[in-house]
Amino acid sequence: MIRYLPLILEIVLALYALIDCASTDASRVRNLPKPAWLVLAVLVPYVGPLAWLVAGRPPREAAAGPRTGPV
């Protein structure tokens, strides 16, 4: 079972990157066009999805304002 772990990890990582890339607005994608990121995530194991998460994914949005809930 442990010998399948790298394969399972690659499949999960690739699926997450593909879904994340496909659902991201094309105008917010960084460094490469969106179709290039999709191809890279599929064709280059481990490196493609990790590159998307590090270099292609848009930065997180900052909070819109101060917290309004109880402290």
Which backbone phi and psi does 46 adopt, to 5 degrees?
A: 60, -55
Q: Taking the model in full, what pTM does it have?
A: 0.77
Cα–Cα dist 12/64, whole Å: 32
Helix (H) or strand (E) run with residue 7 in it: helix 5-23
- Neighbouring CB atoms inside 10 A of 49's CB total 25
| Cβ–Cβ under 8 Å, residues 41 and 52 | yes
One pLDDT digit (tens) per residue for the chain, 71 residues: 789 999 999 999 999 999 999 999 998 999 999 999 999 999 998 999 999 999 999 887 754 556 666 76
